[in-house]
Amino acid sequence: MGPGVCLLRLPADSPLASDSPAVTRFTMSDLQEEGKNAINLPMSPASVEIHPEDTLLEENQERMVIDPTSRDDPRFRELVKVLIDWVNDVLVGERIIVKQLEEDLYDGQVLQKLLEKLAGCKLNVAEVTQSEIAQKQKLQTALQAVQELLRPHGRALQWTVDTIHGKNLVAILHLLVALAMHFRAPIRLPEHVSVQVVVIRKREGLLHSSHITEELTTTTEMMMGRFERDAFDTLFDHAPDKLSVVKKSLITFVNKHLGKLNLEVTELETQFADGVYLVLLMGLLEDYFVPLHNFYLTPDSFDQKVHNVSFAFELMLDGGLKKPKARPEDVVNLDLKSTLRVLYNLFTKYKHLE
């Protein structure tokens, strides 16, 4: 037996045990205690609370238990909160309120409604499912639809019907992150979120446990499938001291043109976030007037700001620029790297204009 792997022999009269003979007869409380002891050996990196249901596994079944330290990590808590808020925003018209991901998504009901809203489709499933078989059938239909959506993008699916129905929070988070990225959710997920997980498996009547690190998010660019790095990745990662020089150059460039409308930019992070200055800047650079009915001059909602930035991107495409690498939502969410990428593209093409 290798390091970090523990075994727990189950009693012969337990419904979880194999046909192999048992050494001693245990009560259920003994079994639960033995399971905890086997998993929380000194070689384990941290003591993890194992609930009784976590040890009730069928042969070859496995269950993941998140380390309490990881659950308390601020970035993990933020990820869960952002995803819950997003799901609730999408389903606001359905009068559905998600409070706990494991308890509210495992039966497929919320997932069905979420997918129908996001994809604009109707799943052929029963509206009310109370039996485990019916719930898993609904989940199977919903997850098949998800697979058809995501597979063309080369995503490795990190969830199954059993893990979702088994209230595996890691699997549920993987699923929601993938959906949020695919449908370009107007949210900003915390980057580089990982959790320490105890994986409990049942093999030949014995419980085996091992500790792994599960990566839930990487960078926004990688999760969106844009793996190529550019100068701004290098700038942020290796030359942050030069960032102020780049920002100063871009501020000088935009003020040279926006000044014609008596507008001045001092903060790139915030003043382009509503899209108004981007739209006006494109009109100035291409020497045309942008009709005011095409965008919101004083946007007061997230959607209106996204509309403005998206419209500015369309004007850039019309002007012969490539489609911006950044998402409109990233600019609206005050992502400096995304805003710099957009402005630098403009600077590169129009820097010689008077």
Instruction: For 44-64, give one letter per residue: b (16+ CB within 10 A) or e.
Output: beeebebeeebbbbeeeebbb
**Co-location of 269 and 339 in the same domain:** yes
In a domain, 221, yes or no: no
Number of residues assigned to the chain: 354
In a domain, 62, yes or no: no
The answer to whether the CB of 22 falls within 8 A of the CB of 10 is yes
**Residues 117, 128: Cα–Cα separation, whole Å:** 18
In a domain, 281, yes or no: yes
**Residues 317, 296: Cα–Cα separation, whole Å:** 20
The answer to whether the CB of 225 falls within 8 A of the CB of 153 is yes
In a domain, 240, yes or no: yes
**Co-location of 235 and 186 in the same domain:** no
Determine the straight-line distance between the first and last CA of the chain, rounded to whole angstroms. 74
Q: Write the DSSP assignment of 137-169 as a string of letters.
A: HHHHHHHHHHHHHHGGGTPPP---HHHHHTT-H
**Co-location of 172 and 236 in the same domain:** no
**Co-location of 178 and 87 in the same domain:** yes
| Tens digit of each residue's pLDDT (9 = 90 or more) over 277-322 | 999 999 999 999 999 999 999 998 888 998 999 999 999 999 998 8
What is the chain's mean pLDDT, rounded? 79
Q: What angle do CA 349, 343, 352 make, to 5 degrees?
A: 30
What average pLDDT does this structure show over 258-275? 93
Q: Name the DSSP letter for residue 240.
A: G
In a domain, 300, yes or no: yes
Helix 169-182, helix 132-150: angle, nearest 10 = 40
**Co-location of 179 and 273 in the same domain:** no
The answer to whether the CB of 137 falls within 8 A of the CB of 106 is no
In a domain, 9, yes or no: no
Of 190, 218, 240, the residue that ends a domain is: 190
Q: Name the DSSP letter for residue 6.
A: B
Output the six-digit token pair for 309.
Answer: 């930035």
| Tens digit of each residue's pLDDT (9 = 90 or more) over 320-340 | 988 787 888 889 888 888 898
Percent pLDDT > 70 in the chain is: 75
pLDDT, residue 235, reads 58
Output the six-digit token pair for 198.
Answer: 């105890």
Of 165, 190, 215, the residue that ends a domain is: 190
In a domain, 339, yes or no: yes
For residue 121, the domain's CATH number is 1.10.418.10
How would residue 7 be classed by pLDDT, with cut points 50, 70 and 90?
Answer: very low
| Tens digit of each residue's pLDDT (9 = 90 or more) over 91-141 | 988 888 999 999 999 999 999 999 998 888 888 887 776 788 889 999 999
In a domain, 46, yes or no: no
**Co-location of 109 and 164 in the same domain:** yes
**Co-location of 175 and 280 in the same domain:** no
**Co-location of 86 and 186 in the same domain:** yes
Of 190, 218, 242, the residue that ends a domain is: 190
Helix, strand, coil abundance in the chain, percent, nearest 5: 55, 10, 40
**Co-location of 182 and 257 in the same domain:** no
**Residues 43, 46: Cα–Cα separation, whole Å:** 9
| Tally of domains in the chain | 2
Domain of residue 295, residue span:
231-351
